[in-house]
Each structure stands twice: as structure tokens, then as C-alpha cells.
Structure 1
């Protein structure tokens, strides 16, 4: 469930909701995830510290996170807390090639990868988070950074060193909660070897897998397809790993079959996973941005749910095997 800070100057007051974080996630959306068999919400959330110095807790963001974790638990969902943004890393790093289109390029903040003070602040931010959630049985893990991308910003990314420093800082506060650590390159398994996860307690390598990209991100009426082999997830070397994001646009050729093969591949390898992205229930957004919404069916022009959507049925078929809940 990706969410970001709301900027009224570019977002208006309805598209992502009134803020401070959007899109709003409704109770109906959380209930729907549980009813369809899901037992985990991966909260891809803004970090609880301010993005600019002096780095300090942003209570509006922190309160939103705490409320969302509590609401997930109430609906029978574990939470993984993951931070998309934080000190000197803005949401717009995920749109770094789109500057001066729908937002000014000045909003792209990637100074984290060059500034030691900001890197230390990420460790402080995670210590604060661990203090708050270490005793919460509904928190299944901490994802230290969503899609680290220092590899795309600086010549020698500090992420491997930084990830270890954050992990050690968390372990000073919380020795039990699993740490989900993604490789550089936007959680690309090709960067796995750069990470050192030893001596950090319970750790899980968290990769994202949208391969084959031309197929999973295909445009309307694209001829892009997939093979049985390309639908499989190639396992990384780590003993414990999960796929923190995977998905396919609903109009892609044979999307339900692709989802079935991918789910089967991950199940056979004992890997947990999270679909990108479960609908939030905020209608103003979903009428416009619904390419990943499994309930809207195959028609690219659809603006509402259809009955018995095959892609959603495949997710439900596998998720219904879940038996453990908070």
C-alpha cells in the first residue's frame, strides 16, 4: 500500500485526499484485503522524520502511521513498516525522470546519498520507530528503505554501508522484529551481493520483481507477452527472502495466468510476497489510476469494479491458504 506526503500545490485537495498522507486507505479496503485472504499489508509509507534539516519527528506523519498499523491489526492484517522517504530523500526520487512535468524538478531530493548527516538521521528515525513498535505483535517487520536507489544517483552508492548502520541502530532498541533489507537498484536482486546481512539477527532480503518489465508494465492493447519461464521468480542467494512488490497491469495479455504462475513460483520457494498495489478505496484516485487494480477487469477503459474479475480471483485462490493473523 504505497502512500506519500500530499502537496496541495500539485495534488489539489481531492486526488490524494486532504493529507497529510495520501491516498487515504479506507476501512473497507483493509477489510477487502482480509476477506480476499490477505494477511499482510506492506506499508510503503513516508518516513516519520522531516525531509529537511533540522531532522526531527513529524508528528502528523508518525500519528498517521500508528493509526494505520492499528487499523490493519483490527482487520486481521499484519503490517510491515517501510519508509519511502525521509531525511534528504523525497517521494520524487521515484519520478526522477519526470521533473518539470507534473511537478517541479526542484522537488526531487536525493541529497541523502551524499550527506553523512542525513544518513545518520535515517538511523535515528528508525530507532524512534523501533521504540514505538517493538512490542507490537501485529508488526511483522521493518523495511529499512523502499527501493533504495543510490546506485542511480551517485558513482559509489553508500547504501550497503548505510543499510548495515541502520540495522545495527535498530538492534540497539529492538532485537526481535525482523529487518527487511532491499538491495540497491530499486530493490533489484542483481545488487544482492553488495549487502552484508550477517550478525543482524532476523533479516529478510526484500526484492522487487516486475520482470519481464515490458510485459508487466505494458500499455493498453500491447502485444507484449511472457513465457512460463519468465513468469517464475529467480531466487536470490539469501536464505530468507521475500518479494516486497510484484504485479502486472490488469489489461496485460493473460494477466491472470501470469499471476497464477508467479504466485505458484513464490509459493514453491517458500517466499512471502506483496501485490502492487492493493486499492486504497479512495475513489478520486482510483477512477484515474487503476492499472494495477485487480478488481477492474481487463478493459483499459473500466473505471469501476467488475464482478468476478479473474485477476482478483487468482490472488484470492492463493491468499485463501493463509491461516495466521494478528
Structure 2
């Protein structure tokens, strides 16, 4: 790691010690995986890691590595994540079954997941298995929808093909059977960002989608309960994480119909305002707090903590209506965005106030060919878009580590892991 650092600011200097949790929870209070989600206080704080199948025609044999799945991670990657305070990893990667029929176990993908879980366990962190691809569903509509270069690689037949949907159920039943006894696996995330509404119909509003397509094969509310049922045939207790269609965005959450299961966690992904703020280009000048048009309505809004509170209200209301735990399993910001540290400080603080577990996007691999090219969310690189190496600290890193330092629960100190 390079020892350079960004200039300290008065803001970062005030982040000295974590505030006391609202509720006293100790490792002795945690007796099951479910307790990590339902104890009324944030207990899992960490990051997503991303992987996908390597296609040599698209990726070559260097960019994402020469294995079946890439980019590769090392044990040191996870030791470094844990050393910053994280206790939780969302493995956002390919499913164990092939994308095309005959749908069957891909042994190389399975071996890769086994290896990731082993490294995460060695670093004393918990994990959720989150599947991005599998029967009838490729990675490409999540990362690259609408980009002509990837035409021919898109596969989203799961939303129109009952055989692919049944294979997705079978894949999860197989996955649960394989990993239900693994003590660090504390969640199954059924599908990363369901998106039938966009890829089939180019619909962004949940009201419109459900008016015309509710009850169809494209309706996630029909498919996901079948997956839950499949999992429960082999695993009755591991928490199941479910997000809504619309890429699990907040405005779609109220349209996600709860399922009758004792161990369900409902999740959202939070990147708003997307184009106007969190994903703006390096030359963008919208900041936080600030005043600008946050939603393309040609009116300026005050973008501050109150804006974030209002944004999260539907999530709080969903919890009150359904009495099921909530998690924010993806959120983040491009590292160069003005006011990123202040934004993340307020946002993560609101997660804490609501007692939600959360995982930032993302913890990047140290595999150099990939790290140099894909770095927008690599907060270790600091706020200078030109930097391609880790620095010692930055205001954004200080904020993330401030909240991660509140973690007191790890696999090594809870009863259900060490029986």
C-alpha cells in the first residue's frame, strides 16, 4: 500500500470514536444467524465483492484473470477488509447452475465460491451468498444494459421461461443444501437486482409495471416465493434476503409482497440521486449538502440530511407494516464525487438510527489488471480520479472506517459458530 494520504479536513477530524449503540448487544446475546438481523441494532457492517463469469471473447485472459470466474481475490484482500473493521461480506457473483440449458452445476463456479467462503472465514467475517446470474439470466443486463458492444451476450429468459425459473429454484435448493451448515453463511440473497421491468418493458415506475404485468412470469412477486419454498425444503433457518424488482430500489420496495416465512430480510439498494450525484463524472460539480435538480424535474431541491430522511421513509414504513428486518445490501458513491464523505456519513448514520445492517459497494480486488481499470468505487484510491493505487487515508475512508469500527460481533466470538 502506498503511504500517501489526502489532506485531513475539519470534517474528517471530528470522527473520533463511535457513538454508543442504542441497545446493548454483546456476542453472548447472539445465539443464531437470525439474531444478527433481528436484534434491533445494526450488527453487520461490511462490503460487497463482485465477480462474474469470465468470457474470453469479451474479457480476454488477463483483465478478469484466466479462471472460470473473475476477477480473482486473495486471502490478503479479505484480511485487509477485516483490518479496516468490516465483519460482513456480500459475495455478489454467479450462481452455481449454468445460464443455458441443460441447467446443471458448474463445478468451477462452485469451487470458486467454496474458496471465497474459506478466505472470508479465515478473516473472521460473515457472508451472504448473493446470486447475479444463473439459469436464464446472465450478468450483462446488470452491468451493461443497452450497450451495443454486449449485444448477443444478454440472457434474461428467466422472465419469460418457466423452465428457467424452475431451474433457478432448483439452483437455490442445491445451494442451500450445500452451505446451510456453514456457520459464516448468514444470508441467501435470492437475486441481485431483479430487473424484468426494464429489460422486458423499459418500465421504470412500479405502478405501471404492476398494472399490466402483475401475476405474469415477469412478476418477481410470483417467482421469489417459489425460491423461498425450495430453499426451505433443505434449510429451515438461514435468513433469506429479498429485494424488489426495479433493481431493488427504494421506490419499488412498497410493491414487494411479503412472504410467510420466519426468517426473511427485505433489502434495498441505495444510490440516489444516481446520475445527478453518486455516479456523476469526475468533472461533475454537484456536492453534498447542496442545491440542485436531484430528480430531473427541472426544479432545484435542497440535497441534505433531510432529503435523505425523506428518501428512506418508505423503507422505514415497510418495516413498520411487515415487522421484518431491513438491510441496505448495496449503497455507495464514486470516490471523486464532491461531498462524498459528508454524504456517506449522514447516510450510514441513518442506517444506524434505523438499526439496519448494511454493505457498501464495493470492496475491490487487488488483482492489478482489473483494479487499474475498474476503480470508480474503490475508496482506497482516494478522491483523485487519476490515482490508481491505495492511499493511507482520506475523508471518505475515515467515514467508512468510523462506522465499521462499531462492529463487535464476529464468527470467532458468537455461540452458534463455535458450538
TM-score by length of 2: 0.75
Q: Deviation per CA, 1:103-136: give whole Å up to 9, x if none.
A: 3x11000111000000000000000000011111
For 2:308 and 2:389, how far apart are their aligned partners in 1?
Answer: 28
For 1:286 and 1:314, how far apart are their aligned partners in 2?
Answer: 22
For 1:26 and 1:211, how far apart are their aligned partners in 2?
Answer: 32
Give the CA deviation at 1:307. Answer: 2.1
Match of 1:185, SS state, is coil
Give the CA deviation at 1:190. Answer: 2.1
Q: 1:134: which partner in 2? A: 180
Match of 2:246, SS state, is helix
For 1:109 and 1:140, how far apart are their aligned partners in 2?
Answer: 29
Give the CA deviation at 1:215. Answer: 0.6
For 2:54 and 2:175, how far apart are their aligned partners in 1?
Answer: 21
**Conserved 8 A contact 2:250-2:312:** no
Are residue 110 (structure 1) and residue 156 (structure 2) matched?
yes
The higher relative CO (CA closer than 8 Å, separation ≥ 6) is in 2
Match of 1:187, SS state, is coil
Q: Deviation per CA, 1:194-229: give whole Å up to 9, x if none.
A: 333332220001110001112100101211123222
Match of 2:389, SS state, is coil
Match of 1:304, SS state, is coil
Q: 1:286: which partner in 2? A: 371
Match of 1:45, SS state, is strand
Are residue 5 (structure 1) and residue 53 (structure 2) matched?
yes
Match of 1:109, SS state, is coil
* Unmatched segments (≥5 aa) in structure 2: 1-48, 202-212, 289-303, 412-419
For 1:302 and 1:231, how far apart are their aligned partners in 2?
Answer: 30
Greater shift in the superposed pair: 17-26 or 33-42: 17-26
- Matches for 1:41-120 after TM superposition, within 5 Å: 41-101=89-149, 103=150, 105-120=151-166
For 1:206 and 1:2, how far apart are their aligned partners in 2?
Answer: 18
Aligned length: 324
- Matches for 1:1-326 after TM superposition, within 5 Å: 1-101=49-149, 103=150, 105-154=151-200, 156=213, 157-213=218-274, 214-226=276-288, 227-232=304-309, 234-235=312-313, 236=315, 237-238=318-319, 239-326=324-411
Match of 1:206, SS state, is strand
Q: Deviation per CA, 1:10-44: give whole Å up to 9, x if none.
A: 11111111121111112111011100110000000
Match of 1:245, SS state, is strand
For 2:190 and 2:143, how far apart are their aligned partners in 1?
Answer: 20
Match of 1:52, SS state, is coil
Give the CA deviation at 1:231. Answer: 4.0
Greater shift in the superposed pair: 91-100 or 306-315: 91-100
Give the CA deviation at 1:230. Answer: 3.3
Match of 1:18, SS state, is coil
* Unmatched segments (≥5 aa) in structure 1: none
**Looking at CA atoms only, which structure, 1 or 2, has the larger radius of gyration?**
2
**Conserved 8 A contact 1:175-1:201:** no
Report the RMSD for the aligned CA atoms in angstroms.
1.3
For 1:188 and 1:97, how far apart are their aligned partners in 2?
Answer: 17
